[in-house]
């Protein structure tokens, strides 16, 4: 697998662009279109929230066909909690794009992100689709990635290449965070395209597997969005033979998808609202992998742990308190905690000032690694999060204004 320049790449058979059409109150981009030149296999994962945006209701229904060709994404308005009008607007958005691009409405997916409870300004959406549709270009990915941002500070893109069945295939993705990030299927917006040929049911399984170790392993603030969606399109322009389940080609393709989703997931955490640090939390020695993930997620979600990380304070007692209350099998007197390379707790007891000093030094880095060993079994899991800063409060105290 080869990494491409994430700022300048193309994927055969796809065009994309992003523009400002006035959905956002600022002059920032707010509408993107991703289009394949032919029908593609499509797989999606969607928020598990019972409160689902119109785009999610629509996308879940459409993705059952395993087919698609166009994705229209708007930022600045979630079109969630908008009732029948909201659903009608989402359908109309798909119809407008279908007409503009000469495809069937069923082939068009819509995705929205932004404030909940407001209706889409449909006249602006209509104009925006016409404008963006006229500008579609093979290298438009940075434009599209910019147009799906909300409180994100940087665009999130990734592209890789691999040899499958003797053909060079490309896989690329864009994503946006950066609040309401928490495990539970997809946890943001992410769109991945490839020119590889893959059967839709196979693509779906591959996506579920990749999601579990990427988007479902990151948390910014413990809140689950109403609009989360990850869509993958595979249009077959590379003309490879569709890989058989379990084949070597299949594994290579899975590795590409794993790399793309993990890269985007970590970009989302790095750009978590107000984040100053990327924090990797690994729990090993849990009774089973599920308990390991539960413990790691609990630590990653604790406001007390996250504020201590912002303060570069090796306050391991807060981690012990979370481990003891998160419902996993643990014993205080078996638990070890390591910050970076410094073991700071052994069998439940702090290792003193020198260890504390070394651990504190490791917290001064931009990337922080915390390792917890419960000594209860073989379960292991890794979760990524960020710290909790003044800036997070500032961003979220004023989000709608």
- Contact 274/179 with Cβ under 8 angstroms? no
Q: Round to whole Å and give the CA distance between 160 and 173.
A: 9
Q: Round to whole Å and give the CA distance between 187 and 176.
A: 10
Strand pairing report for 67-75 and 31-46: antiparallel
For the record, the structure tokens of 221 come out as 């603030």
> Is the peptide bond between 178 and the residue preceding it cis, with omega within 30 degrees of 0?
yes
For the record, the structure tokens of 360 come out as 């504190």
Closer by beta carbon to a copy of itself, 49 or else 69: 49
From residue 107 to residue 126, the character string flagging contacts with a copy of itself as x (rule: CB under 8 A) and all else as - is --------xxxx--------
Which residue stretch of 92-100, 263-271, 329-337, 376-384 sits at the interface with a copy of itself (rule: CB under 8 A)?
329-337
Question: Does position 349 bind a copy of itself by CB under 8 A?
Answer: yes
Question: Does position 364 bind a copy of itself by CB under 8 A?
Answer: no
Q: What is the DSSP letter of 363?
A: T
For the record, the structure tokens of 77 come out as 């308005």
360 is catalytic: no
Q: Which member of 304, 358, 361, 382 binds a copy of itself (CB under 8 A)?
A: 304
Question: Does position 225 bind a copy of itself by CB under 8 A?
Answer: yes
For the record, the structure tokens of 109 come out as 């997916």
Closer by beta carbon to a copy of itself, 22 or else 184: 184
Q: Which member of 37, 239, 332, 367 binds a copy of itself (CB under 8 A)?
A: 332
Q: What is the length of the chain?
A: 401
Name residue, tokens 């007692």.
317
Q: Which member of 196, 224, 250, 368 binds a copy of itself (CB under 8 A)?
A: 224
Q: What is the DSSP letter of 184?
A: S
Question: Does position 51 bind a copy of itself by CB under 8 A?
Answer: yes
Question: Does position 277 bind a copy of itself by CB under 8 A?
Answer: no
For the record, the structure tokens of 301 come out as 């979600």
For a copy of itself, the binding residues (CB under 8 A) are 48-52, 78, 80-83, 115-118, 179-180, 184, 221-226, 301-304, 307-308, 310-311, 313, 315-318, 320-325, 330-333, 345, 347-350, 388-390, 392-401
Q: Which residues are catalytic?
A: 187
């Amino acid at each position: 697998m080869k990494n491409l320049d994430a700022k300048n790449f193309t994927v055969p058979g796809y065009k994309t662009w992003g523009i400002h059409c006035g959905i956002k109150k600022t002059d920032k981009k707010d509408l993107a279109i991703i289009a394949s030149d032919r029908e593609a296999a499509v797989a999606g994962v969607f928020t598990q929230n019972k409160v689902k945006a119109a785009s999610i209701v629509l996308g879940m229904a459409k993705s059952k066909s395993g087919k698609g060709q166009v994705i229209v994404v708007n930022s600045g308005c979630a079109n969630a909690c908008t009732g029948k009008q909201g659903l009608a607007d989402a359908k109309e958005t798909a119809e407008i794009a279908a007409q503009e691009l000469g495809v069937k409405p069923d082939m068009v997916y819509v995705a929205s992100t932004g404030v909940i409870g407001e209706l889409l300004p449909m006249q602006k959406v209509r104009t925006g689709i016409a404008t963006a549709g006229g500008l579609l270009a093979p290298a438009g990915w940075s434009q599209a990635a910019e147009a799906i941002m909300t409180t994100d500070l940087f665009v999130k893109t990734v592209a890789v290449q691999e040899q499958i069945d003797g053909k060079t295939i490309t896989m690329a993705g864009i994503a946006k965070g950066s609040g309401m990030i928490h495990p539970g299927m997809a946890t943001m917006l992410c769109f991945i395209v490839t020119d590889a040929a893959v059967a839709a049911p196979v693509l779906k399984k591959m996506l579920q597997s990749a999601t579990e170790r990427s988007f479902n392993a990151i948390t910014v603030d413990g809140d689950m969005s109403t609009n989360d969606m990850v869509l993958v399109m595979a249009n077959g322009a590379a003309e490879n033979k569709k890989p058989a389940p379990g084949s070597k080609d299949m594994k290579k393709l899975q590795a590409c998808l794993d790399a793309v989703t993990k890269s985007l997931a970590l970009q989302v955490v790095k750009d978590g609202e107000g984040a100053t640090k990327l924090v990797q939390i690994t729990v090993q020695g849990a009774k089973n992998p599920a308990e390991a993930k539960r413990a790691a997620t609990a630590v990653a979600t604790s406001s007390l742990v996250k504020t201590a990380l912002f303060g570069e304070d090796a306050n391991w007692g807060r981690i012990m308190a979370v481990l003891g209350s998160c419902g996993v099998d643990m014993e205080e007197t078996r638990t070890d905690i390591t910050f970076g390379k410094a073991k700071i707790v052994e069998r439940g007891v702090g290792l003193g000032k020198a260890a504390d000093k070394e651990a504190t030094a490791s917290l001064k880095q931009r990337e922080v690694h915390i390792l917890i060993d419960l000594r209860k079994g073989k379960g292991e899991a890794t979760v990524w999060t960020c710290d909790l800063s003044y800036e997070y409060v500032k961003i979220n105290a004023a989000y709608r204004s």
